[in-house]
Amino acid sequence: MTKNLRGETVHKVLILDFGSQYTQLIARRIRELGVYSEIHPFNYPLEKIKAFAPDGIVLSGGPASVLDEKSPKCDIGIFKIGVPILGICYGMQLMAQLLGGRVEKGEKREYGPAEILILKESPLFADFPSNTPVKVWMSHGDRVETVPPGFYVLAQSPNSPISVMANEEKRLYGLQFHPEVVHTPDGKKILANFLFRICRLEPDWNIGSFIEQTIPKIKEQVGKGNVVCALSGGVDSSVVAVLLNKAIGKRLHAIFVNNGLLRAGEVEEVKEVFTQKIPLNFHYVDAEKRFLGILKGVTDPEEKRKRIGRLFIEVFEEEARRIGDVEFLAQGTLYPDVIESVSFKGPSATIKSHHNVGGLPERMHLKLIEPLRELFKDEVRALAKELGLPEFIIKRQPFPGPGLAIRILGEVTKERLSILRAADKIVNEEMKRFGLYDKVWQSFAVLLPLKTVGVMGDERTYEHVIALRIVDSTDGMTADWVRVPYELLARISNRIINEVKGVNRVVYDISSKPPSTIEWE
């Protein structure tokens, strides 16, 4: 047990990471339960672990096999510290192996849903009904065949006779399944039992504590250096800017590039927030003319993206050079971006690299500061609220780095931008009016590169078409079009055709991703 900055006692859990893609999810569940945790690599030295003084330790899963000699191992000394330890999957197998049990290759890999039967009463399963199978999510090849001395089998499943093992006296537990994933519906209850009944902690951590803990870390990392960040007005970069401003004040230089491809009112809103409401060292760069200049005559989507990306870096770099002695670049990388960039090699990997000013740290020899690296989007939103950012930033839908340029099919011109801006504004005003803006992933207008015939009064018209795109998604990787009420579609269509000069037709995009993408270019 240690004290936080306010001198209050905080409980801490140490998570040793053996490389599972779910390690951050364990940390997240523990945070959700109101307990502070830190993730350290599996080989974190025993001395440091003792100095950290955890109230409990979790050994994560991992892709290796304990049967492989070179597999990652933690210091066996952790089992003598006397704090409760929970091993998950690989963590359980390692615990079994290190303490004298036997692990073997299973006959077949077990992946997916399973049901375990609890064989004995235990605080780990307190409040679980007896004689009722518990649904869990398995993902393992090896399995524990014999528990170590002092342990007994707490639960079994048809494929894993030892699904849960325990040494209650020493408070050591092993789970063959993953309690941290949503596919284990009562997984959070199991983790809560570990924290509150076995480690005997109390919930004493919240997102406010995250701020208190992060600020000194940033101060220490930055020392006397200067930091730049690309502030887009999206929730991630805004939170990063405000956190850094709190930590180092004027030595944070938040650079906002107006690329002329932003939505209606956006430039003014962002300027106002960071100069009036939460004033910070805000560098406004008006690069509209330059961006429109390089987009002249360009219709190929990839070429647009490339040119915008390149110029963004150029403009950002110029501004950073003007500031001079800059040592760090702060980025709003979130945990899903981290996993994506290591395990997902699809178009999104490049998307993020543009978004996060790809290539810039290397080019300018900047060191990275990524204070949100361990958080998920909804946690960042909670953080934004705690930091006093306005609602429109907190609830903002994702907006692509290349902006409206990839929602204007064909050439990007000032005139076409102003048509799209006006239509897009109506879409979102109406989405808000129907209470749907916050409920969907994205809602926006797209300007198509064609004209169609219409009639207005007695006159025949030949004008632009606007497509509406309203999608639901949890991470942008897959998406489905939203079945919005007809009245909303009718209202949006009416308003766009009546109010936006140059548009005489509105269509609704009913394609899901895959095979379509969310953006049209």
229 is catalytic: no
Catalytic residue selected from 11, 74, 89, 253: 89
Stretch that binds ligand XMP, among 153-161, 207-215, 280-288, 350-358 (CB under 6 A): 350-358
Cα separations in angstroms, 199 against 85, 122, 192, 203, 260: 9, 14, 10, 12, 55
Q: Tokens in use for 247? A: 């930590």
Among 31, 251, 355, 396, binds ligand XMP (CB under 6 A): 355
Cα separations in angstroms, 495 against 432, 438, 442, 468: 15, 21, 20, 13
400 binds ligand XMP (CB under 6 A): yes
Q: With helix as H, strand as E and coil as C, how does 126-143 read?
A: CCCCCCCCEEEEEEEEEE
Catalytic residue selected from 74, 110, 180, 464: 180
HSE (CB half, 13 Å, CA atoms) of 507? 12
Contact 335, 374 (CB under 8 A): yes
Among 54, 260, 332, 401, binds ligand XMP (CB under 6 A): 401
Nearer to ligand XMP by Cβ, of 215 and 477: the residue is 477
Q: In what order do the strands lie in the sheet with 85-88?
A: 36-41, 12-17, 56-59, 85-88, 172-175, 164-167, 152-156, 102-118, 134-146
Contact 302, 347 (CB under 8 A): no
Tell the smallest beta-carbon distance from residue 215 to ligand XMP (Å).
27
301 binds ligand XMP (CB under 6 A): no
Catalytic residue selected from 11, 178, 253, 464: 178
231 binds ligand XMP (CB under 6 A): no
Tell the smallest beta-carbon distance from residue 442 to ligand XMP (Å).
6
Stretch that binds ligand XMP, among 13-21, 184-192, 258-266, 397-405 (CB under 6 A): 397-405
476 binds ligand XMP (CB under 6 A): yes
519 binds ligand XMP (CB under 6 A): yes
For residues 426-445, which are near ligand XMP according to CB under 6 A? 442
Q: Count of residues for the chain?
A: 521
354 binds ligand XMP (CB under 6 A): yes
135 binds ligand XMP (CB under 6 A): no
Mapped onto helix, strand or coil, the DSSP state of residue 108 is: strand
89 is catalytic: yes
CA angle 382–388–393, rounded 5-degree value:
70
Q: Comparing C-alpha atoms, which of 155, 172, 207, 50 is closest to residue 99?
A: 172
Number of residues engaging ligand XMP in binding (CB under 6 A):
14
402 binds ligand XMP (CB under 6 A): yes
Tell the smallest beta-carbon distance from residue 517 to ligand XMP (Å).
3
Q: Tokens in use for 409? A: 């099919």
Stretch that binds ligand XMP, among 99-107, 166-174, 238-246, 347-355 (CB under 6 A): 347-355
Distance between CA 167 and CA 115 in Å, rounded? Answer: 22
174 binds ligand XMP (CB under 6 A): no
Q: Comparing C-alpha atoms, which of 203, 205, 207 is closest to residue 192?
A: 203
Tell the smallest beta-carbon distance from residue 228 to ligand XMP (Å).
18
Nearer to ligand XMP by Cβ, of 96 and 261: the residue is 261
Contact 227, 244 (CB under 8 A): yes
Tell the smallest beta-carbon distance from residue 482 to ligand XMP (Å).
14
518 binds ligand XMP (CB under 6 A): yes
Nearer to ligand XMP by Cβ, of 307 and 355: the residue is 355
Q: Comparing C-alpha atoms, which of 306, 311, 263 is closest to residue 291?
A: 311
347 binds ligand XMP (CB under 6 A): yes
Stretch that binds ligand XMP, among 206-214, 243-251, 454-462, 512-520 (CB under 6 A): 512-520
Cα separations in angstroms, 376 against 22, 25, 80, 182, 392: 13, 9, 34, 15, 19
Q: Comparing C-alpha atoms, which of 401, 400, 406, 404 is closest to residue 304?
A: 406
317 is catalytic: no
Q: State the catalytic residues.
A: 89, 178, 180
- Where does this chain bind ligand XMP (CB under 6 A)? 347, 351, 354-355, 398, 400-402, 442, 476, 513, 517-519
